[in-house]
Amino acid sequence: MSHKYKFDTLSLHAGQTPDSEFGSRAVPIHQTTSYVFRDTRHAAALYNMEVGGHLYSRISNPTVAVLEQRVAALDDAAAATATSSGMAALFSALLTICSAGDHIVASSQLYGANVNLLKYTLPRFGIHTTFVDPTNHEELKSAITEKTKIFFSEIIGNPGLVILDVDAVAKICQEHSILFMVDGTFNTPYLMAPVKNGVNIIIHSLTKWMGGHGVAIGGVVVDGGNFDWGSTDKFPTISEPHYAMDNINFYEEFGPVAFTAKFRAEAMYNFGPCLAPMNAFHILQGLETLPLRMQRHIENTQELLQFLTSHEQISWVRHPSLPEHPQHELAAEMLPRGAGSIITFGIKGGRDAGKKFIETVTLSSHLANVGDAKTLVIHPASTTHSHIDSQSMLSAGLTDDMIRLSVGLEDISDIISDFEQGLKAASKL
Amino acid sequence: MKLTVNGHSTYISTGGIKPSIDNQAIIFLPGSGQSHLTFVLQTRFFAFEGYDVYAPDFPGHGLSKGNPLETIEEMADWVAGLMAQCNLKSAIIVGHSQGCLVAMSLAHKYPDLAEKLILIAGALQIKVNDHLLDKSNSSLPLAIAMMTEWGHGRQGHFFAASQPGHSLLGIGRELMMANAQDALPADLLACNQFDATNIAAEIEAPVLCILAQDDKMTPVKLGIKMSDTFKNSTCVTIAQSGHMLPIEKPDDVNSSIQKFLN
């Protein structure tokens, strides 16, 4: 029997075979805008999607393709297309499916920019979203209308850390013939590859754990290949003749990768959210150590949870692995390797104490990112979620005293020492 | 395009261009549990090269309705009927794996219909092991996983792909899962029961055999034996590919076909 490579091996090798000309072991950086055609017939064949290959780096690029194929392998999916950021991935994926008049149902527990895109930007183009509590499946079902095309949610909500019951929601989406799209940034394929659970499209911000080093912004749209576009007439741009390439029918021509074919032919072509080859290279360097880093992220998270839950200055701690988390059992079942390395907590003394803590810690960095190799802290109410309204903040589980902690890879004793002196300073207010 | 064949809706990929009937016709026949999508990088290419392309989904496969056919001879009869319905007096017949068996049966039973045969990753007999036969009935996802793993060569397992961002293993799994539940067991049983040893020697049409060096399902030595059986055959072996040659090495397959046809 052929040997199917495991996750750790795929993190290092998938998508790449050593360069046949020079034997480069590392992935070469193809820093080029365009590619010389062999002849006019070859050029036409590339434009017509008759053959594989690259014609212009806005559409595809060999270095970026290695990254795409590696992510598709890690997520056990049919295809992946990289974009310039996670937000570019989400926007382009939504617009690949939705047109004016269409409807989206989304979790209320989303990252601030995701909320703003759905709540304010897309309605300007006639695409409206109903936000629901992702744990209330009856509310979710009630929100679905005949115009609904997509249910969208993060698997681990940012920053509320609500866990989506992927199996149950997949069943609802299948029953209503709507696309199940998730943001998998906080789980990464290492903690959960959800195509086998019935997720159809996965969005990742590659900027976070997948890259891990904090040097490159990037995103990716992963196509599970498991949505039956022919089962419903809800998706005419995929399952009926399309304006591009002589009324091509993506569903008939490309089957499981119909979404990706349309994404490549329309979103990459017309919107242009391409990932720079250099950034793809940087992110690939990070991906090589994803499993090792995720193990350490999870170990440090568990140690820090023990420290925080027993510290007298801490008023509350939230993480899906804690027994008091309302979805503790679901998280343990669905994410057996760990429920991520984001912790939220409150400090006695409220907003001022939180501010003092953030300004006093020295090893932990105060910045607007998560998933870096370094430990990061932020006060979401005044930063990442400051531009969303108070009702949406409440729906997202945000409180004024909340501190979001992205646990890094430093020696755990140094992180705890840093926190001890930060909490000591906060206690003196 | 869609036709009604034997009362069932039947999908035939034409590579994005409607056949004109004036051009040379070329018919692509997929392997066990596969569909027209096996040939996604041949159908569009040869349609734009000027051929009238027909890549039908057999009943119960891909986008075609109806019950899966149970024998290779029945499949050959079905193709002959489809050709009559499309007003095709003859065509170049391209088969992959099980499609090779169907192509040989067609060329033997209806010699006037097959001008030339192109047999990709084929053999005179394609024996299926009992474990796979059993799993195709009792645990379809496991059978499909085994076939996609065996079917792809080393580069496929490293997720190499000519189309940027594609996972051949992932696409293969979803393509096979999209068929009717009883399609794969019927195909495997049909393969297991067919032997082209005697009929191949009687086929007059010129044959091109395209073999994959790392093929674990129909090893090269069986492909060479098949090629040697024909009266008029050419054989090429493509390096660094497994059984799924049409998608693993599409450019090599296409250029081999072009060279043979020209």
Q: Which tens digit of pLDDT belongs to each residue from A276-299?
A: 999 999 999 999 999 999 999 999
pTM to 2 decimal places: 0.96
Beta strands at A365-366 and B52-56: parallel, antiparallel or unpaired: unpaired
Closest in A10, A16, A78 to B174, CB measured: A78
Following DSSP, what letter does each residue of A47-61 receive, concatenated? HTTSS---SBTTT--
**B150 contacts on A by Cβ (under 8 Å):** 1-2
Distance CA B142, CA A109 (A): 36
What is the pLDDT, as a whole number, of residue A1? 45
Distance CA A186, CA A157 (A): 8
Contact A56, A245 (CB under 8 A): no
**Full residue range of the structural domain in which residue B97 is found:** 2-261
For the segment A64-75, the average pLDDT, to the nearest whole number, is 98
Best residue of A257, A268, A287 to probe chain B, by most B CBs closer than 10 Å: A257
* CA-to-CA dists, residue B21 to B29, B106, B118, B185, angstroms: 19, 21, 21, 35
Number of domains in chain B: 1
What is the pLDDT, as a whole number, of residue B195? 97
Distance CA A230, CA A218 (A): 32
What is the pLDDT, as a whole number, of residue A17? 86
| Token pair for A308 | 């925080």
Nearest-CA distance from B163 to chain A in Å?
4
* CATH assignment of the domain containing B22: 3.40.50.1820
**B242 contacts on A by Cβ (under 8 Å):** 2
What are the residues whose beta carbons fall under 8 Å from the beta carbon of B157, sequence distance 6 or more? A2, A3, A4, A5, B149, B169
Best residue of B41, B61, B159, B169 to probe chain A, by most A CBs closer than 10 Å: B159
A174 touches chain B (CB under 8 A): no
- Kindly list the structural domains of chain A, giving each domain's residue range(s) and its CATH number in brackets, ordered by start: 14-286 (3.40.640.10), 290-427 (3.90.1150.10)
Tell me the ipTM for this assembly.
0.95
Q: Do A48 and B37 touch (CB under 8 A)?
A: no
Instruction: Tell me the pLDDT band of A396, cut-offs 50, 70 and 90.
Output: low
What are the residues whose beta carbons fall under 8 Å from the beta carbon of A336, sequence distance 6 or more? none
Contact A191, A166 (CB under 8 A): no
For the segment A107-125, the average pLDDT, to the nearest whole number, is 94
Q: Do A65 and B35 touch (CB under 8 A)?
A: no
Contact A178, A149 (CB under 8 A): yes
Instruction: Tell me the pLDDT band of B21, cut-offs 50, 70 and 90.
Output: confident
For the segment B28-39, the average pLDDT, to the nearest whole number, is 97
Closest in B40, B174, B216 to A225, CB measured: B174
Which residue in B has a C-alpha nearest to residue A83's C-alpha? B165
Q: How many CB atoms lie within 10 A of CB A20?
A: 8
SS (H, E, C) A198-248: CCCEEEEECCCCCCCCCCCCCEEEEECCCCCHHHCCCCHHHHCCECHHHHE
Contact A127, A94 (CB under 8 A): yes
Closest in B150, B162, B178 to A1, CB measured: B150
pLDDT in tens, A19-35: 888 999 999 999 999 99
Distance CA B34, CA B32 (A): 5
**B175 contacts on A by Cβ (under 8 Å):** 255-256
- The DSSP secondary-structure symbol of A264 reads I
Q: Do B41 and A14 touch (CB under 8 A)?
A: no
The interface residues of chain A toward chain B in range 264-323, judged by CB-CB distance below 8 A, are 264
Mean pLDDT of chain B: 96
Q: In the block, which residue shows the tokens 């212009």?
A: A56
**B162 contacts on A by Cβ (under 8 Å):** 51-53
